[in-house]
Amino acid sequence: MSDLPAFLHPFAPPAKTEFIRIVGGEGAEIWDDRGRRYIDGMASLWYMNVGYGRSEMVEAITRQAEELAAYHTFDPFSNPAAEELADRVARLAPIERARVFFTCSGSESVDTAMKLARLAHRLAGRPERTLIISREHGYHGTNFGGTSAQGIPPNREGWGPLVPDVVSVPADDIEATARVFESDGDRVAAVLTEPLQGAGGVYPPREGYLEGLRRLCDRYGAYLILDEVICGFGRLGTWFGAQRYGVVPDMITFAKAVTSGYVPLGGVVVGPRVREPLESTPGFVLRHGYTYSGHPLAAAAGLTALDIIEAESLGRRALDIGARLRDGLEALRADGLVAEVRGDGAVWAVELPADRDAATIRDAALEKGVIFRPLGNALAMCPPLVIGDDQVDRMVDVLAETLGA
């Protein structure tokens, strides 16, 4: 076997050795160890809303590290930063009387929500409700729960048997979902969906689709889980995608922009219908959690990231960024350079003509100093919410140059 570097990369060919080594960043730009600068058109992996190099973030994390760098929150312990962030997220979420469970990633948040859905039904006397319905194109992380709920077929392959009782429905077909409820409605624990599907190709929900899911869940007594790992914290112009699309879920999974990735953090907003059976069962102990659930450094980073989003009205800015991007991308479509433009808020994608290869275009754009992300035959864009108009224009110009070449 060849002598490969020790670092085995995620979502990469295992024998690949050449990577772009990122060493610094400021605002909406990052640079590599060869001094090349890039406009980060993807906010890293959809999360860097407040931008790189924020001294407020560094100071908040440092202050917390000096006070208390780490302590767990399993019974009987807690810490003020985690408590404060839970309060804050619960107040921002569109679910009345919600509580917040902390994890360290989106994948853990999804697994937590799937487990809580089944658990709450069981404690409420409905143990037969174990079925989770998810959608094609859905991406819910790579733990076993999220892998089982994946709507991106290659991500499901090769891992042996996945979690049972997780079924997939066509992405935008409310009738198909209704048919699952008609045949198995008394077994459904929850419907799990992103408000806008991100990693599966950037697909906003069809008009009325999410409301349709809410109605089905209500009629059949199932929970609605919105996976807001990308949509949460300003990306769609609102704190949560639920607010953007006017739907009230029973649980919300979040991660990424809650801290803008300065420290890894995720969580689940847990609404009253799920809380109640857990809280009212005598002697019940929630045997679920992660060593770093409620980690004080992550919580301190979260509080400051939310302060910045609020103080700088980054939600409102997301709408301006999105409108500017959309107009630029639509012009490329009018010129025949791209086949389709889709997105919402500050997350967009262009579907390339069938004879173009998204990874090749991504590489060519990298050479010109702009980062896009290939998803199938589409290129995704999800820039930091501190990006300047000139940088947005540069993204579109580089895409045009690359496609025109």
Ligand X SMILES: Cc1ncc(COP(=O)(O)O)c(C=O)c1O
Q: Does 25 bind ligand X (CB under 6 A)?
A: no
Q: Does 227 bind ligand X (CB under 6 A)?
A: yes
Q: Does 105 bind ligand X (CB under 6 A)?
A: yes
Smaller CB separation from ligand X, 189 or 192: 192
When binding is defined by CB under 6 A, the residue of 30, 120, 229, 305 that contacts ligand X is 229
Write each residue from 38 to 57 as x if it is in contact with ligand X (CB under 6 A), else as -, in one continuous string: -------xx-----------
When binding is defined by CB under 6 A, the residue of 199, 263, 269, 395 that contacts ligand X is 199
Instruction: Output the smallest distance, CB 252 to ligand X, in A.
Output: 11
- Using DSSP's 3-state secondary structure scheme, residue 137 falls into coil
Smaller CB separation from ligand X, 154 or 336: 154
Instruction: Output the smallest distance, CB 151 to ligand X, in A.
Output: 11
Number of residues in contact with ligand X, rule: CB under 6 A?
17
Q: Does 198 bind ligand X (CB under 6 A)?
A: yes
Smaller CB separation from ligand X, 198 or 277: 198
When binding is defined by CB under 6 A, the residue of 118, 121, 137, 140 that contacts ligand X is 140
Smaller CB separation from ligand X, 42 or 387: 42
Which long-range contacts does 285-290 make (Cβ < 8 Å, 24+ apart)?
Answer: 285/75, 288/112, 288/115, 288/116, 288/119, 289/73, 289/74, 290/102, 290/103, 290/104, 290/108
Instruction: Output the smallest distance, CB 106 to ligand X, in A.
Output: 2
Say if residues 274 and 291 touch (Cβ distance below 8 Å): no
Distance CA 224, CA 228 (A): 12
Question: Is the bond into 76 cis (omega within 30 degrees of 0)?
Answer: yes
Instruction: Give the H/E segment covering residue 331.
Output: helix 314-334
Tokens 């930091």 belong to 384
Q: Does 141 bind ligand X (CB under 6 A)?
A: yes
When binding is defined by CB under 6 A, the residue of 194, 250, 344, 351 that contacts ligand X is 194
- What is the sign of the dihedral through the CA atoms of 182, 188, 190 and 192? negative
Q: Euclidean distance between the first and final Cα of the chain, in Å?
A: 40
Q: What are the backbone dihedrals phi and psi of residue 187, each rounded to the nearest 5 degrees, phi first?
A: -110, -5
Q: What are 271's two structure tokens?
A: 């609404």
**Residues contacting residue 166 through CB under 8 Å, at least 6 positions apart:** 114, 131, 132, 134, 145, 148, 149
Say if residues 139 and 199 touch (Cβ distance below 8 Å): yes
- Using DSSP's 3-state secondary structure scheme, residue 158 falls into coil
Closest residue to ligand X in the complex (CB) = 106
Instruction: Output the smallest distance, CB 256 to ligand X, in A.
Output: 6
Q: Does 110 bind ligand X (CB under 6 A)?
A: yes
Smaller CB separation from ligand X, 79 or 107: 107
Q: Does 382 bind ligand X (CB under 6 A)?
A: no
When binding is defined by CB under 6 A, the residue of 131, 213, 230, 268 that contacts ligand X is 230
Task: Spell out the SS3 assignment of 84-113.
Answer: HHHHHHHHHCCCCCCEEEEECCHHHHHHHH
When binding is defined by CB under 6 A, the residue of 38, 52, 101, 139 that contacts ligand X is 139
Strands (E) across 333-377 are located at 340-344, 347-351, 373-375
Determine the interface stretch with ligand X among 136-144, 215-223, 236-244, 317-325 (rule: CB under 6 A). Answer: 136-144
Smaller CB separation from ligand X, 217 or 268: 268
Tokens 């639509």 belong to 330
Distance CA 311, CA 332 (A): 34
Q: Does 233 bind ligand X (CB under 6 A)?
A: no
Instruction: Output the smallest distance, CB 94 to ligand X, in A.
Output: 18
- Which amino acid, 140? H
Instruction: Output the smallest distance, CB 195 to ligand X, in A.
Output: 9
Q: What are 298's two structure tokens?
A: 């992550």
Determine the interface stretch with ligand X among 82-90, 153-161, 179-187, 227-235 (rule: CB under 6 A). Answer: 227-235
Smaller CB separation from ligand X, 40 or 194: 194
Smaller CB separation from ligand X, 141 or 322: 141
When binding is defined by CB under 6 A, the residue of 25, 51, 106, 212 that contacts ligand X is 106
Q: What are the backbone dihedrals phi and psi of residue 125, each rounded to the nearest 5 degrees, phi first?
A: 90, 20
- Using DSSP's 3-state secondary structure scheme, residue 377 falls into coil
Residues of this chain that interact with ligand X (CB under 6 A) are 45-46, 105-107, 110, 139-141, 146, 194, 198-199, 227, 229-230, 255
